[in-house]
A and B are shown apart, each in its own frame.
Chain A
């Protein structure tokens, strides 16, 4: 079976986030697998997850889901009489979990709403389902207004702004470069996450680190929202230690002749005064999609298992995978 195609199909449901889609893809793999022993099954799952990771440009969140499911499978007490029964049980468990997991955002939202005071200004970054859920929940009981960053290169901030405005929440899109300007007006920062890592830090759409540093400098709380399936056993030492880092990011282009560039440039940024030779696509190509926010910049992580300090997150991760 083509696990990548399955993953893509699962992702079509807007509620399903990449780690959950990865779990569902592995569940399908499990169901169709011909493996006769635990060892073979785990091997097949590992291969499946490797193939998913290879296909994806940003393997971090897929990895978190795969890791969780495979660890669960390995630890599952397999004293069942027939192995196919066990497989069915695993498939069932996986599906139950995904169904449960869909309620987590609500749970996180309820936790986080307690931290939002009435009449407050919230800064958020890019688009995150769990942040949306929280903001909409907060809107019911409190007056809030929201700044959302444009979040280049993906530009998903506009999506957030549209959704919030439709719900009646005052919302302004700000430039990524205007975060420092806006910070003094902000009461707290809420961001979603692609993954929460072992250090207690956070991997999220690029720009989160900027916001966290500015929030720290302005003494504003920086809250991260993360469903527990995003907890990822990874310890990045720096930005360049992330699995998403590749040599092309931040590379310097070889010197090329002006004329050829001029001819090939398809969509130059309209600007007055002088001509521009670099396209937006080219800029995006040389830039990272995600960045890593150090734990000391994060005030709290809200998760379906409770509010955690960054230290608490690493304690959970150690308990899950090393315990």
Chain B
């Protein structure tokens, strides 16, 4: 492998982001994804590479660095995987002629693997401009030079997608929320907020927001929704079951959507979804596709997730108590796919069972482990 150390300013950008992630100075999946993308763009535009492997390994090493900084923020890894996928796609389009004759390596294991469903959406874009020479000994930069413009274009596509994600998720909101319905939601999710507000343009409905202890994000959500003119009720988490019999639909946000169609979401979501299940109330999840995570249920279902500050639960003013009891404050819940009826994403609505296919189409298998 040729030396692939990115030059100093790029390195600094990566480190800054990693530092911010570790300190949780960037929160929210979309913000993190955007930052990651910007850093990746900088890395690609600055770095030197003379073949595909070098490029991929540069991106991967940056990705690894960022993921390690904040392993719970899956949108970092997702963004890196998505960029890798786009880069490969562009590369394949550019080198279409030569890559076809791969039959010589046909073997049974390949045959098994090739059976996997993967949409080869290699749209005939700009016709491969001349010959794309890899490892040109005379001009090691020729590969990078000819590929970079397309790569920048690809990253711009991802960026555009991220920037319009709220609009696209809430595009069809009025098809999901009907007049006079009672919607239940919880926590503070920008996506859900945009979705509900967009639906309010056409529909007159009521939202009940759970406070979502201990962060009480529901209060902000209730403020935002009522400010937009939606009739809003703020209720404590405990009243969830009692109210559920009157709720027509539960709308949740997601933290990460996993390959089996399950998802991670703010604590309280599992209770809400289970109660909805008990009342046969549909559960709808609003999320951008950058939250699709090619992981299964990481470790296992409960616990070992991410634990928050116990003082949120039991204030330190009760220090006599704090010493005596263990206080638990988990961040996320894992929701099994059978609790979710639909995902509303920026690219269409999907049942949990097709998340698997979406993930196969969005990312390359070899990137699942960065």
Q: 1/0 per residue B297-309: CB within 8 Å of A?
A: 1111100100000
CB-contact partner of A72 in B108, B298, B353, under 8 A: B108
B112, A320: Cβ atoms closer than 8 Å? yes
The residues of B that contact A300 with a CB separation of less than 8 Å are 260, 296
CB closest chain-A residue, reference B368 = A306
| Chain B residues with CB below 8 A from A321, complex form | 115
B297 touching A319 by the CB < 8 A rule? no
CB distance from A234 to the nearest CB of B (A): 16
Q: Is the CB of B109 within 8 A of A77?
A: no
* A323, CB-defined interface residue at 8 Å: yes
Tally B residues with Cβ within 8 Å of A: 27
With a cutoff of 8 Å between Cβ atoms, the chain B residues found around residue A71 in the complex are 111
A288-303 with Cβ < 8 A to chain B:
299-300
Candidates A69, A115, A228; contact of B296 at CB < 8 Å: A115
Among A68, A116, A312, A323, point to the contact of B356 (Cβ < 8 A).
A312
Report which of B107, B301, B304 forms a contact with A96, defined as CB distance below 8 A. B107
Tell me the chain A residues, 14-64 only, with Cβ under 8 Å from chain B: none
Q: Does A307 sit within 8 A of B, measured CB to CB?
A: yes
Do A305 and B296 touch (CB < 8 A)? no
The interface residues of chain A lying within 8 Å CB-to-CB of B108 are: 68-69, 72, 93-94, 96-97
Assuming the contacts A75-B111, A96-B107, A117-B299, asked whether A307 and B353 have C-beta atoms less than 8 A apart, the reply is: no
B99 is an interface residue with CB less than 8 A from chain A = no
Q: Is A316 an interface residue (CB 8 A)?
A: yes
Given A117-B300, A300-B260, A305-B106 contact (CB < 8 Å): no
Question: Any chain A CB within 8 A of the CB of B116?
Answer: yes
Per-position binary interface string of chain A over residues 249-276, scored 1 when its CB falls under 8 Å from any chain B CB and 0 otherwise: 0000000000000000000000000000
Tell me which residues from 125 to 177 in chain A have a Cβ below 8 Å from any Cβ of chain B: none
* Smallest Cβ-Cβ distance to B352: which chain A residue: A309
Q: A189 at interface (Cβ–Cβ under 8 A)?
A: no
Q: A114-B299, A316-B115 are in contact. Are A76 and B106 (CB under 8 A)?
A: yes
Q: Is the CB of A306 within 8 A of B365?
A: yes
| Complex Cα gap A96–B112 (Å) | 14
B259 within 8 A of A: yes
Query: Which among B259, B261, B300, B301 has the highest number of chain A CB atoms within 10 Å?
Result: B300
* CB atoms of A323 and B115 under 8 A apart: yes
Q: Which residues of B from 323 to 363 have beta carbons under 8 Å from A?
A: 353, 356-357
A163 to B26: give the CA distance in the assembly, Å: 50
- Quick check: A72 and B111 within 8 Å, CB to CB? yes
Q: Which residue from chain A places its CB closest to the CB of B365 in the assembled complex?
A: A306
Whole-angstrom CA separation of A208 from B118 in the bound complex: 32
Q: Which of A77, A231, A309, A312 contacts B103 (CB 8 A)?
A: A77
Contact for A115 among B111, B297, B365, CB less than 8 A: B297
Q: Complex Cα distance A317/B111, Å?
A: 11
User: Do B117 and A315 have beta carbons less than 8 Å apart?
Assistant: yes
Contact with B111, one of A96, A116, A320 (Cβ below 8 angstroms)? A320
A224 to chain B, nearest CB (A): 14
Tell me the bound Cα distance from A320 to B117 in angstroms: 10
B114 lies within 8 A of chain A by Cβ: yes
Within 8 A of A (CB), among B227-256: none
- Any A CB within 8 A of the CB of B113: yes
The 7 closest A-B pairs by CB, nearest first: A319-B115, A320-B115, A97-B108, A117-B300, A315-B117, A228-B112, A307-B296
Knowing that A228-B112, A306-B368 touch, tell me 17 more A-B residue pairs with CB under 8 angstroms: A71-B111, A72-B111, A76-B106, A77-B106, A114-B296, A115-B296, A115-B299, A221-B301, A305-B113, A305-B116, A307-B259, A309-B260, A311-B356, A316-B112, A317-B115, A319-B116, A321-B115
> Using a CB–CB distance below 8 Å, which chain B residues touch chain A?
103, 106-109, 111-117, 259-261, 296-301, 304, 353, 356-357, 365, 368
Q: What are 6 A-B interface contacts by the 8 Å CB criterion?
A: A68-B112, A299-B260, A312-B356, A315-B117, A316-B112, A323-B115
